[in-house]
Amino acid sequence: MNRVVLLGTKGGPAIRAGGAMPTSSLLELDGRRVVIDCGLGVSKGLVEAGMDLKTLDLIFITHLHSDHILELGPLIHTAWTTGLKTPVTVYGPPGIEAYWAGFMASVSYDISIRVYDEGRTPLDEIVTVQAYDEGLVMDGPIKVQALRVPHPPIKDCFALRFDGSKSVTFSGDTAYFPPLASFAQGSDLLVHEALLPAGVETIIAKTGLGDKLRNHLYASHTKAADVGRIAHAAGVGRLALNHLVPADDPTIGPQDWLSQVAEAWDGPVDVGVDGLEIVL
Ligand SMILES: [Zn+2]
Ligand SMILES: [Zn+2]
């Protein structure tokens, strides 16, 4: 079955009781399983979505913000302790190698013990970490392309498009960026980040952060109404709102998101919740 499962759907690294987890997704396309972003909760999310972690083999990271990368190392390590022996490839922006080296250093004691005590394959022998840039990232039965998107102050943040028998585009974290519509043109599914201005002031009050956070949110993310504009211009088959800001405000419900998106988009749309499966 070709599907996308949104494992974690909140934007930003904080977690709260009863709330959604930071960003990660699973794409199953033509028999290949791909993990996109590894925010906190990705390992449990994959297991709950029915994936045997021993089969982990392909991961893409859109950028190095912690809500997209904090559980990358722990996911691979947990897959390894679950019995993973086969190669894993991680594609990430420049800097991904340093993350991986730092993670491996932090668990070197545990890994060396498990290699001699439990007879496991050394983890560094099965993991390849590769930095990518804009353009064609992976060719073959599934083609993967990257588009640099504006997410200041981060320079290396990418939207990713996967083409097989179906096409799926993930926006990454991005400010409103009309070229993304050309990049996503004709995708069966567009998974796009979204911000709801009505919820921003509550977040500012909750975190105790002021103008700097407010400025970051508006300069680096896409308002829900503009997400609808991208979906419309791209002519996608379906839209899913992801990386929701806010994701855990009890005064905001799906209808608040949908009414904004509806300014420009009248096609099928899902408001992301953790564990949501979208069949392609
Ligand atoms: Zn993010
Ligand atoms: Zn980000």
Q: Domain-by-domain residue ranges, the chain?
A: 3-279
Ligand closest to 37 (CA) is 1
Q: How far is the CA of 249 from the centre of ligand 1 (A)?
A: 17
Distance 86 CA to ligand 2 centre (A): 30
CA distances to 39, 109, 213, 221, 271 from 234, in Å: 27, 49, 30, 18, 18
User: Which ligand approaches the C-alpha of residue 194 most closely?
Assistant: 1
Beta bridge partners of 203: none
Q: Ligand nearest 216 Cα, by number?
A: 2
213 vs 183, which has greater pLDDT? 183
- Between the CA of 140 and the centroid of ligand 2 the distance, in Å, is 29
Q: Give the tokens for residue 76.
A: 């691979």
3-279 is classed in which CATH architecture?
Answer: 4-Layer Sandwich (3.60)
Q: Which of 16, 58, 66, 18 is nearest to 38 (CA)?
A: 66
pLDDT digits (tens, 9 = 90+) for 64-75: 999 999 999 999
Catalogue the long-range contacts made by 32-36 (C-beta closer than 8 Å, 24 or more residues apart).
Answer: 32/58, 32/141, 32/142, 32/164, 33/57, 33/58, 34/58, 34/59, 34/60, 34/142, 34/162, 35/59, 35/60, 35/75, 36/60, 36/62, 36/160, 36/170
pLDDT at 210 over 80: no
Distance 39 CA to ligand 1 centre (A): 9
Residue 122 CA to ligand 1 centre (angstroms): 32
Rounded to the nearest 5°, which phi and psi values hold at 29? -140, 120
Ligand number with the minimum distance to the CA of 12: 1
Tell me how far apart the alpha carbons of residues 3 and 67 are, in angstroms, rounded to a whole number.
23
Cα 114 to averaged position of ligand 2 atoms, centre (Å): 34
Name the β-bridge partners of 146. 135, 160
Ligand 1 midpoint to CA 136 (Å): 23
Query: 18-32, 41-55, 206-220: which range is least confident on average?
Result: 206-220
Cα of 58 vs centre of ligand 1, distance in Å, is 20
Label residue 170 by pLDDT band (50, 70, 90).
very high
Q: Is residue 32 a contact partner of residue 39, using CB atoms and an 8 Å limit?
A: no
What are residue 193's DSSP bridge partners?
Answer: 242
Distance from residue 193's CA to the centre of ligand 1 (Å):
9
Mind listing the pLDDT tens digit for each residue in 97-136?
999 999 999 999 999 999 999 888 999 999 999 999 999 9
Q: Minimum-distance ligand to the CA of 64?
A: 2
**pLDDT: which is higher, 202 or 133:** 133
Measure 65 CA to ligand 2 centroid, in angstroms.
Answer: 5
Q: What is the pLDDT of residue 198?
A: 86
CA of 63 to the centre of ligand 2 (A): 7
- Distance (Å) from CA 64 to ligand 2 centroid: 7
CA of 151 to the centre of ligand 2 (A): 7
Distance from the CA of 73 to the center of ligand 1, in angstroms?
18
Q: Which ligand is nearest to the CA of 175?
A: 2
161 CA from centroid of ligand 2 (Å): 18
* Residues whose Cβ atom is located within 5 A of ion ligand 2: 65, 173
pLDDT tens-place string over residues 86-102: 999 999 999 999 999 99
